[in-house]
Chain A
Amino acid sequence: MLKKMFSIQELNSGYGQSKVISDITLDINQKEIVAIMGRNGMGKTTLFKTLMGLIPTMSGDIVVDGVSLAKMETYNRVQNGIAYVPQGRMIFSNMTVLENIQTGLSQKANGKVPDEIYSLFPVLYDMRSRKGGNLSGGQQQQLAIARALVTNPKVLLLDEPTEGIQPSIIKDIAKTLKEIRNLKDLTIIVSEQVLSFTMEIADRFCVLEKGKLVYQNTAVNVDEKIISSYLSV
């Protein structure tokens, strides 16, 4: 039986006095890929930002491999095993591809990029001297994932990774994510609106509606129609 790697316990958060995330509780196992589905404005990004400490937690706890993160600063959470690929990728556009990856290695003494990163994303090796801002959307997404992976995470959060990416590349991303999961025993949580993408990779589906977890099911038992009904405007 796989061990519990990530736990969100009665989490509440929001902006100022306005609560966006309400009482979310979720346990996720090691090597599990969980898709958080929901329309725009339902709280997916706010949930991820709260998990990363970019928005303060009002109450509740976030636990990675038995360590509580709720009171930690963002950089400290990263050191404790949580990594983040934000919506829009947010790569450092004025820095080279190599430097972008090295920012994720800032806690390590030698700053050398592990070979496995270039095996997973060969294009990044070819373009390592190029400015991050000059890469295509798909290449930037690979760079953002590589930058997160070098922090050596136990849990990887991806916020709408297919946004602005062409369909052929989306399939590659799905394949790579499954490969990474198997290679590094990684727990992956991905927020999405594209059901076809998550159907390809997720072991479990959760639906977020107005900041609340309203539906949850495994990939085996999931009803696509129910999820689609939540995604339609």
Chain B
Amino acid sequence: MGGYSLNDLMSILVMQGFSGLSMFSVLLLMALGLAIIFGQMGVINMAHGEFMTIGAYTIFITSSLTNTYFPSLKPFYFIFAIGIAFVIAFAVGYVTEFLLIRHLYKRPLDTLLATWGLSLIMQQIFRSVFGGREVSADLPDWLMGSWKPTESIDIPLNGVFVLVMALLVCGFVALLLFKSQWGLKVRATTQNRIMAGAVGINTKLIDRITFATGCGIAGIAGACFTTIASTSPTSGSLYIVDTFLVVVFGGAASLIGTITSAFSIAQAQSILTFFLTSAMGKVVTLLTIIVILMIKPEGLMKNKVRR
């Protein structure tokens, strides 16, 4: 195949597979927030990518401040910065829901348009504040370098970190959804909003917190993103289409579906990109998804949702 030996092919598959895992991690974190928001409120948030960018710029700012004022904290700042990225994206999401989204419930097309407008506004704010050029955070040493299990396999440490982070966040979200009072309220509201209100759940508050949490998780995705790429005002918009693909392909409101979908799309794109081209890799992935959705319109995992 293309002049590669079996050994070369195995190494390529492992390397590309791992590169796909890094992409899977960012896609999963992005899609997780989007799936929760879409599953509960039916809101298609076109500005979700910009909440990721907020997280990425938060890492950049925290990195610059640490280098300038607290250089001794450089080895540890990244961990705290992830928390700050979540808090800032959560806060902006909370205010956005209060000022904009809540007025547009039950109007999905208006929400689509309004959040698209919001994404353009946010991109312009990023451009005005940080400039149009790409910026990179100064990463701590322990995130640099790679692990070489064999001569031909080279696994970057930042990729491992992003993967671990994504799995941790995913586990935490699952724990929140299935073991906490908030999760119980979210699931009740997702299944039957009217009945949730009629058993005493403040569904409007749950909507606001859920929307903000989804945005906060996108902020964490942005923080992870800075370890594998530079940040520009349009970084988020590059991921939004793939993220929607993950949500639709996985089956909205299904956690397992979102994970499976993010994994399949990221791996398919990563491996196909090596053997074809980047554009052709996307085309083949997209066509495959379209065919699967024609056969299974509800996505990979069906979740019986009654509203």
Interface 9-mer from A15-23, A56-64, A94-102: A94-102
**What A residues does B148 contact at CB under 8 A?**
none
| B181 contacts A by Cβ under 8 Å | yes
**What A residues does B195 contact at CB under 8 A?**
86, 90-92
Q: Which of B181, B191, B197, B204 makes the CB contact (< 8 A) with A93?
A: B191
**What A residues does B198 contact at CB under 8 A?**
52, 54, 74, 78, 84, 86
| Cα–Cα, bound, A133→B305 (Å) | 12
Q: Are the CB atoms of A79 and B200 closer together than 8 Å?
A: yes
Q: Hey, what's the 0/1 contact readout for B156-194 against A, CB within 8 Å counting as 1?
A: 000000000000000000000000010011011001101
**What B residues does A84 contact at CB under 8 A?**
198
| B306 contacts A by Cβ under 8 Å | yes
Q: Are the CB atoms of A75 and B203 closer together than 8 Å?
A: yes
Q: Measured between C-beta atoms, what is the minimum distance from A152 to chain B in Å?
A: 10
| B201 contacts A by Cβ under 8 Å | yes
Q: Are the CB atoms of B194 and A90 closer together than 8 Å?
A: yes
Nearest B residue (CB) for A148: B199
| B202 contacts A by Cβ under 8 Å | yes
**What B residues does A78 contact at CB under 8 A?**
197-200
| Cα–Cα, bound, A214→B202 (Å) | 36
| A106 contacts B by Cβ under 8 Å | yes
**What B residues does A151 contact at CB under 8 A?**
199-200
| B304 contacts A by Cβ under 8 Å | yes
Q: Measured between C-beta atoms, what is the minimum distance from B203 to chain A in Å?
A: 7
| Cα–Cα, bound, A92→B193 (Å) | 10
Nearest B residue (CB) for A151: B200
**What A residues does B306 contact at CB under 8 A?**
93
**What B residues does A68 contact at CB under 8 A?**
none
Nearest A residue (CB) for B182: A106
Q: Which of A75, A95, A133 makes the CB contact (< 8 A) with B197?
A: A75
Q: Which of A92, A99, A111 makes the CB contact (< 8 A) with B192?
A: A92
**What B residues does A102 contact at CB under 8 A?**
184
| Cα–Cα, bound, A147→B195 (Å) | 11
> Known contacts A92-B187, A94-B303, A95-B187; is A75 also within 8 Å of B194 by CB?
no
Q: Hey, what's the 0/1 contact readout for A62-80 against B, CB within 8 Å counting as 1?
A: 0000000000011100110
Q: Are the CB atoms of B181 and A111 closer together than 8 Å?
A: yes
We find that the number of chain B residues with CB closer than 8 angstroms to chain A is 22
Q: Hey, what's the 0/1 contact readout for A133-175 against B, CB within 8 Å counting as 1?
A: 1000000000000011001000000000000000000000000
Nearest B residue (CB) for A89: B195
Q: Which of B197, B199, B303 makes the CB contact (< 8 A) with A104?
A: B199
Q: Measured between C-beta atoms, what is the minimum distance from B257 to chain A in Å?
A: 14
| Cα–Cα, bound, A90→B204 (Å) | 20
Q: Are the CB atoms of A106 and B187 closer together than 8 Å?
A: no
Q: Measured between C-beta atoms, what is the minimum distance from A18 to chain B in Å?
A: 19
Q: Which of A74, A84, A103, A133 has the most CB of B within 10 A?
A: A103
**What A residues does B200 contact at CB under 8 A?**
75, 78-79, 104, 106-107, 151
Nearest B residue (CB) for A111: B181
Nearest A residue (CB) for B180: A111
Q: Are the CB atoms of B192 and A90 closer together than 8 Å?
A: yes
**What A residues does B305 contact at CB under 8 A?**
94
**What B residues does A148 contact at CB under 8 A?**
199
Q: Which of B185, B194, B304 makes the CB contact (< 8 A) with A103?
A: B185
| Cα–Cα, bound, A75→B201 (Å) | 5
**What B residues does A104 contact at CB under 8 A?**
199-200
Q: Are the CB atoms of B191 and A75 closer together than 8 Å?
A: no
**What B residues does A53 contact at CB under 8 A?**
197
User: What are 8 A-B residue pairs whose CB atoms fall within 8 Å in the complex?
Assistant: A54-B198, A74-B197, A78-B198, A78-B200, A90-B195, A94-B305, A103-B199, A111-B181
Besides A74-B198, A75-B203, 18 new A-B residue pairs in contact (Cβ under 8 A), listed by A number: A54-B197, A73-B197, A73-B202, A78-B199, A86-B198, A92-B187, A92-B188, A93-B304, A93-B306, A94-B303, A95-B191, A99-B184, A102-B184, A103-B196, A106-B200, A107-B200, A111-B181, A151-B199
